[in-house]
Structure 1
Amino acid sequence: MTRQVTATGTTGAAAERALRQKLVDRRAPTQQGITADTTMTKLAAHWLAFLREEGRIEATTVNEYERVLANVVLPELGGLRLRELTTSRLDVFLVRLRSISTSRQRKAKVVLSAMLGLAVRHDALTVNLVQQTSRVHRQRSEPRSLTLADLVGVREALRAWAAKERPGPKASSDLADIIDLMLATGARIGEVLAVRWADVELNATRPSLTIKGTIKTEAGKGTYRKASPKSDASVRTVVLPGFAIAVLERRRASAPGDPNAPVFPTRNGTWQQVNNVERRWRQVRKDTGLEWVTPHTFRKTVATLIAERVDAETASQQLGHSSPAITREFYISKPAIAADVAHVLDELAASPDPGTGRILGE
């Protein structure tokens, strides 16, 4: 289809220059309403609508993307049209975010790259400019797990918190039991809170627990149990140690007969929120020297212990990771001292037999 393009100027030469520039900037029209003249604010709305309609990404993740756009990206870039974007402009924006927070920089780059990817697919841009910006460098921190002495401190802090006088109903043993089950399984906190009595098998020869759900909280939807955990690899059955069996048997004695009831319900019998449990733990650990311990630390502790006693592959399976590489890099603490091979290295100090050249004692 032939289209006429016009431009104006104060002189004929100026009009011709304006026309040539207009032809350079011109993009073919698209069917989705995304063009080179679309603003970043409008592109963000298109992208979020696409994600929600596609339904491939968790609603909570889409909501987080929307929050990052509203608070970080759009206040500065929202008024720009796609044709006004340059790699240098985006790079300066992202590098400036690094001085505030590496996490904020990383999240902004993720949403910007995905948004511009949509613009490329709709022919509003020819390349994704974000992919040419500086890499996000995160400071690597070594995984830190709990020692047995640390665990003694954790349990003492839990007992002291439960016994503390405070207004309102007396604190329950829920939090201590939740932490024990995290230590017994290596499960995520949302996975533990999503365990139903139907998922527990205490009468088998090898008592076990099947992890096949997680807890989600969404605005307008409330807190609910999602019938699948983080990934396909996260669905797993783990054999329970003795201390976890004791916790579950005690709780089952006072539990309702409904197999779909939560093992760790609220006082009203509903699903507990992850944020509420995390907030309670922050109250417990306050002024105890355990401020560095998060619910994820219990998961790292399980991974480290299994890797030391068995291997990283087994630790990865216990945690529900898709690859042992993830477990090694982010979950297993390095030992304070390398493996004791001093007796092997002692051979290097021996004198060779003059006749054979072999190390004496071989």
Structure 2
Amino acid sequence: MARPPLPIGTWGSIRTEMRGPNRYRARARFRDYDGKTRDVEATASTGPAAIRALKEKLRDRATPNDDEITRDTRVRTLADLWIEEITTEERVKPQTINNYKTSLRSAILPALGSLRIQEATVGRLDKFLRTVAEIVQRPARAANVVLGQMFALAVRRGALMTNPVRETGRLRNPRSKAAALTEEHLQAVRAAIRQWQQPVAGKPGPRQNGDLADVVDLILATGARIGEILALRWDDLDLAAERPTVTICGTLVYVKGKGYFRQEWTKSDAGYRTLVLPRFAVRMLRARKDIAADKARDAVFASRRGTWLSPHNVRRQWRGARADTGLEWVTPHTLRKTVATVIAQEADTKSAAAQLGHASEGITSTYYIAKPVLVSDVSEILEQFAARDR
């Protein structure tokens, strides 16, 4: 029966022989990463010294190069190689890579970084993901995506036969109920903003401008994402047309080290769209353009320093405006859901999906349109409660 081959990166028994006065040679067979088995040797003045020298040589040979991955590679090293790969290939957006790094730094590496790839078993990874999910669901799903892609790289490089992340249990994906604003809610939102814009005696700092109110109006007029609204340039608007329009063709994104900048494309292909503006939005935009004057080719919403007004600042302003108003549950995304709900109710889901820039009506219907639960008809059962003397 043929002797089984040595596993990749290992060696067989070590043999020593005397080659002359004070000269010993130690030899062993080593199976390289190309699958070939080769003789490796080392010499020294004594047999034990030759063995030590050979073992050091074998360990160095067994350690992969920086771009090689084996079952003994640390998860931390695998993460570095994966980040290097996706960065070099330029197929992943910089802000997405930044999010991946955040997931690695905050969750994955502190818990798993020192493990060897072969020690990252399905059970261990599943326990890790569920532990994170018990705290917050979103970081757990992000970690699942990152780990899945990291170990896919290990499979492609031949370190693993299968991806252990694929065999972990499915994380619970709680679906938050789509909440839309009523007319009363909208009045309360606008009233809160007006109150917040009023100067407060004795309070230092610049006076609040009308940006927040106008951003809210434009989200309600378009259903666009806040990043899409804040990335608008005057060139993206056609206010002189019989039916004035806005073309959504970019979004603001944040990259660590660079801050916010305008990305010249939308979140998806379906996000690139031209929308007809309602009259109230046209009036607001024309008024802003008159004020913009010689800067009319720049951002529709700019900071006092002339830079892009960031989503972070708008959300911070809204938190200040809604404080102690009972509107803490309202976010810019709630406005977007409100637009989807109204369009679906008065037109159809297809129109709502197109307005929001969704490729799938299913996404719009499930996550953006508020709808009551249809229950069974039990009216005849409840009829027994009718007053008998009527």
Q: TM-score range by the shorter chain?
A: 0.7 to 0.9
Deviation string, structure 1 residues 55-96 (Cα, Å, up to 9, x no partner): 222211111111111111111111111122211111111122
Partner of 1:174: 211
Letter in 2 for 1:231: S
Q: Which of 256, 262, 272 does residue 225 from structure 1 map onto?
A: 262
How far does the alpha carbon of each residue in 1:19-44 deviate from its partner, in whole angstroms, 9 at most, with x for none? Answer: xxx99xx9969883111111000000
1:337 deviates by 7.5
Specify whether residues 203 and 27 from structure 1 end up closer, same or farther in structure 2 by C-alpha distance, changes over 3 A only: same
Aligned to 1:90: 125
Identical positions, percent: 45
Task: Identify the residue that residue 271 of structure 2 maps to in structure 1.
Answer: 234
Mark the CA change 1:124 to 1:164 in structure 2 (over 3 Å): closer, same or farther.
same
Q: Distance in 1 between matches of 2:141 and 2:183?
A: 35
Query: Which has the larger displacement, 214-223 or 293-302?
Result: 214-223
Following the alignment from structure 1 to structure 2, what is the Cα–Cα distance between the partners of residues 85 and 239?
53
- Structure-2 residue corresponding to 1:188: 225
2:122 and 2:210 map into 1 onto residues whose CA distance is: 55
Structure 1 stretches of at least 4 aligned residues deviating more than 4 Å after TM superposition: 1-5, 26-31
Note if contact 2:144-2:165 (Cα within 8 Å) is conserved in structure 1.
yes
Question: Residue type matched to 2:170 in 1?
Answer: R
Q: Deviations over 1:93-143 (max 9, x none)?
A: 112222212222211111111100111111111100011011011222210
**Are the structure 2 counterparts of residues 4 and 140 from structure 1 closer, same or farther at C-alpha, using a change threshold of 3 Å?**
closer
In the other structure, the counterpart of 2:109 is 74
Q: Does 1:331 align with 2:368?
A: yes
Write the mapping of 1:122-137 to structure 2, written as runs, cut at 5 A.
122-137=157-172
The one of 311, 314, 334 equivalent to 2:351 is: 314
Alignment coverage as a number of residue pairs: 329
Aligned 8 A contact 1:191 1:215 in 2: yes
Could you tell which deviates more after superposition, 52-61 or 198-207? 52-61
The residue type paired with residue 64 of structure 1 is N
1:344-355, aligned counterparts within 5 Å? none
- Partner amino acid, structure 1, of 2:100: Y
The answer to whether residue 307 in structure 2 is matched with residue 260 in structure 1 is: no
* 1:244 paired to 2:281: yes
Whether the 8 Å CA contact 1:27–1:124 is kept in 2: the answer is: no
Listed as ranges, the gaps of 5+ residues in structure 2 are 15-29, 36-61, 381-390
| Structure 1 residue 8: Cα displacement | 6.2
The Cα RMSD (Å) is: 2.7
- Please state how far the C-alpha of 1:295 moved relative to its aligned partner: 0.7
Structure with max Cα Rg: 2
Q: How far apart are residue 7 of structure 1 and its match?
A: 4.8
In the alignment, what sits opposite 1:112? 147
Q: TM-score, normalised by structure 1?
A: 0.85
User: Is the Cα contact below 8 Å between 2:175 and 2:367 reproduced in 1?
Assistant: no
Determine helix, strand or coil for the equivalent of 1:216. strand
Which 10-residue stretch deviates more, 68-77 or 217-226? 217-226
Give distance in 2, aligned partners of 1:198 and 1:245. Answer: 14
1:54 alignment partner, one of 81, 84, 89 = 89
The SS at the match of 1:326 is helix
Q: Give the superposition deviation at 1:258.
A: 4.5
Give the Cα separation in 1 of the matches to 2:259 and 2:248: 22
Give the equivalent residue in structure 2 for 1:101: 136
1: CA distance between counterparts of 2:352 and 2:312? Answer: 26
> Structure 1 CA distance, aligned partners of 2:175 and 2:290?
46
Deviation at 1:164, TM superposition (A): 3.9
More strand by share: 2
Q: What corresponds to 2:251 in structure 1?
A: 214
Q: 1:35 to 1:148 in 2, by over 3 A?
A: same
Cα distance in structure 2, aligned partners of 1:170 and 1:67: 36
Q: Find the residue that maps to 2:110 and give its secondary structure.
A: helix
- Distance in 1 between the 2:368 and 2:10 partners? 60
The SS at the match of 1:257 is helix
Per-residue Cα deviation, 1:303-346 (whole angstroms, up to 9, x for no partner): 000000000000000001111111001100014788xx9xxx99
